[in-house]
Structure 1
Amino acid sequence: MSDEVLIPLASMAELDRALKDIVIEFEDAGSRTDPLLEAIGRPFGRTGLRDAADAFEGAWDDKRETLRNHLVELQERVEGVRDAWQQLDLDLQSSLEQNGG
């Protein structure tokens, strides 16, 4: 059994940044609906594909917002844990230095 505690702060920082990027992607996703519908157009004069894409986007909007909120909560928790471990590490280092350790 080891008496060391290894906290992967670099991995936690990387996860924090990745979650922030994903949240931004979710926030920006809704703004791409109109360009998508325009790109689909009306092939052969029909709107079925465009209508289906529009319906999917509308249904996905609410789900995307819920998922985005959960991702924000997760990102904030990861950031909080990482910050707390960093502060603890600094406090322990300072305590050791003050006590001649």
Structure 2
Amino acid sequence: MKLFRHENRQRSHRSRRVYALFEIAHTAVDFAAAVCFTIGSVLFFWKQYETQAIWLFTIGSVFFMAKPSLRLAREIKLYRLGKLERLADRAQDD
């Protein structure tokens, strides 16, 4: 079993649920980053809002940095679920 395999996502009801929850989180983070960058871009039209725009760009960048972290965490979680399921299957065979 390896990371980033499609079959890890479809192995069981629990793995499908974990995958779906992580996809929702990933989409929410993606949307938050886009909102920060869009509002930050608009704020740059006015000199007095430059500091707020810079902060929004910084926050948006942190959100974009969180996206691959979420993906890696999801894949590790799915990998571990698979290991636990194989262990449970072996225990049932004994």
Q: What is the TM-score of this pair, normalised by structure 1?
A: 0.52
Match of 1:75 among 54, 67, 82: 67
Match of 2:56 among 44, 60, 64: 64
Q: CA deviation at 1:22?
A: 1.1
Larger radius of gyration: 1
Aligned counterparts, 1:31-70, within 5 A = 31-33=41-43, 54-70=46-62
- Partner Cα separation in structure 1 for residue 40 and residue 56 of structure 2: 9
CA-based RMSD of the aligned residues comes to 3.2
Match of 1:11 among 21, 24, 27: 21
1:37-74 Cα shifts (integer Å, max 9, x gaps): 7xxxxxxxxxxxxxxxx134322221112111222233
Q: CA deviation at 1:96?
A: 4.5
- Partner Cα separation in structure 2 for residue 78 and residue 19 of structure 1: 9
Aligned pair count reads 77
- Partner Cα separation in structure 1 for residue 43 and residue 63 of structure 2: 22
Aligned counterpart, 1:28: 38
- Partner Cα separation in structure 2 for residue 31 and residue 62 of structure 1: 9
- Partner Cα separation in structure 1 for residue 26 and residue 72 of structure 2: 10
2:88 corresponds to 1:88: no
Change in Cα spacing, 1:76 to 1:14, as seen in structure 2 (3 Å) is same
- Partner Cα separation in structure 2 for residue 56 and residue 11 of structure 1: 40
Gaps of 5+ in 1: 1-5, 38-53
